[in-house]
Amino acid sequence: MNASPLDGLNVLLLDDEPLLRRQIAATLERLGADVTSAATVAAARQLAGEMNFDFALLDVNLPDGLGTDLLKEKVFPATTPVIVMTAQGGVAGAVEAMRLGAADYLMKPFEPAELPLVLGRARRERQSARVEEFRRDTEAKDSLFFGSALAGLEAHLQKIIAADRRVQAHLPPVLIEGETGTGKTTLARWLHHHGPRAAQPLVEVNCSALPETLAESELFGHERGAFTDAKAARMGLFEAAHGGTLFLDELPSLSPGLQAKVLKVIEDGKIRRVGGNREIAVDTRLIAATNRDLRADVAAGKFREDLLHRLDLFRIQIPPLRARGDDVVRLAGTLMERLCRRHRLAVKTITPAGERRLRAHRWPGNVRELQHELERAIVFEESAALDFAHLSPGETSPTEPAGGNILNDDFRFPSEGIRLEEVISRLIALALKQTDNNVSAAARRLGVSRDYLRYRLAGGKDKPAGSGESL
């Protein structure tokens, strides 16, 4: 059963008609809201000064004044949507209320069923305003380059999206693993924009950039007076992403205490603001990313094992650029076109020597480093064909180190060694290239089963249980 959009939210109700007040309160309470009632402007003013409210429902004509006086006095913070209730013929008063900052109005008499619709609309508008504070550039939402080396990853993502469309609500978390610069943020955006929540908010935050003292407030929000500078209640990022996606980059940067709170949100679907004593229901799809080995962090006591198990349902691993073979050159061409358009220049080409240098470079910064190299070349090189002569020929790929071709009998291991997993990934990419991405044919050439190859392409490193196969 889906949680009500008002579950756990505080509502101030100002109306001097006892029967109507009881009816409205009963309707809101059935939807999970906590309702505090007042019959006079003075009582409502006092309550607003003592308590935090997520919404306020104000009648206009009260025995001791106008409900809209509270708007003029700015009794409520900007984060609290105010709905004005006015009798027939009070359109002018409703218009004045909207001018003073009311989020919406209801004409009396109204059906109680209208209340959740109006309050839900007001909450979405407040949520959108909060999302704007954390809006990131998402113009590249469809620019994820898969190529042949990531064909298995694309199929893996499509299965996640298909599962999301079947489930719709309370989607399971996704864990993205990969080195710095491999495109974890781009992949998270792609997953959101191609999934069933594309029209809903996508909120992004780099956990390593959150100061320890503010991280909890940023993620879960706070109530007024929760700490010295908390002059008004504020919605947190989990709540801002309600109905959509929250992307937590570098999640392991959070303290163990905050990791426990994140785990609780995943399991219970509820958050509690700093300084608050009530739980607020949220339906937020969590995507977490890291460039660290979380299993090693668990063993070292740096990451919660229970959180890892909860995140590890939909795991995505992005291979480093140096393990993606000829895709480096194809990706460079795609990025070159985009960057030239951005700089309003004619599209430049890459010489054969330049392509060889791109393949040979180790790319410790991965796709981000490649993009920066291309942009520098576009801006500073006069030639229409780029050869990247500044890339040192000694900076070779771990699959083609200074000792030569690793499949050649004359190959000599370099002193710093090689990465076997990257060699395997390179062999898989080469087999796929030579078979036009036919997984079955590539598996035959590699001497493994199709299931094993699909497992590797989906990001698995260790052989699947009972496979008995390896490369």
Helices (H) and strands (E) in the chain, counts: 18, 16
Q: Where are the beta strands (DSSP E) in 268-333?
A: 270-271, 280-281, 285-290, 314-317
Both tokens of 6, joined, read 């008002």
- The residue among 189, 187, 199, 276 whose CA lies nearest residue 236 is 276
Length of the chain: 471
Domains in the chain (CATH in brackets) are 10-133 (3.40.50.2300), 151-317 (3.40.50.300), 411-471 (1.10.10)
* pLDDT on residue 34: 86
Task: Supply the pLDDT for residue 136.
Answer: 41
| Residue with the two structure tokens 């935090």 | 52
pLDDT tens digits, one per residue of 246-293: 999 999 999 999 999 999 999 999 998 888 888 889 999 999 999 998
Going by C-alpha positions, the residue among 128, 123, 130, 131 that lies closest to residue 32 is 123
Coil, helix or strand at residue 146: coil
Nearest C-alpha neighbor of 197 from the set 261, 266, 247: 247
Task: Evaluate whether 238 touches 246 at the Cβ level (below 8 Å).
Answer: yes
Per-residue pLDDT at 447:
87
Instruction: Write the DSSP string, 205-268.
Output: EEGGGS-HHHHHHHHH-B-TTSSTT--S-B--HHHHTTTSEEEEETGGGS-HHHHHHHHHHHHH
pLDDT of residue 396: 42
Which are the contacts of 154, defined by CB distance < 8 A and separation ≥ 6?
A: 146
Give yes or no for a contact between 102 and 71, defined as CB atoms under 8 angstroms apart.
Answer: yes
CA distance 40 to 66: 9
Q: Is 415 exposed, middle or buried (0-12, 13-18, 19+ CB in 10 A)?
A: exposed
- Residue 371: which of 101, 231, 182 has the closest Cα? 182
What pLDDT score was predicted for residue 45?
92
Cα separation of 395 and 224, whole Å? Answer: 56
Nearest residue to 148 via CA among 447, 430, 350: 430
202-206 and 174-177 as β-strands: parallel, antiparallel, unpaired? unpaired
**Cα atoms in the Cβ-side hemisphere of radius 13 Å centred on 162:** 6
Contact 27, 4 (CB under 8 A): no
Q: What is residue 19's three-state secondary structure? A: helix
DSSP 323: G
What pTM was estimated for this model as a whole? 0.60
Sign of the torsion angle spanned by Cα atoms 250, 251, 252, 257: positive
In the chain, which stretches have pLDDT less than 50?
1-2, 133-142, 393-404, 464-468
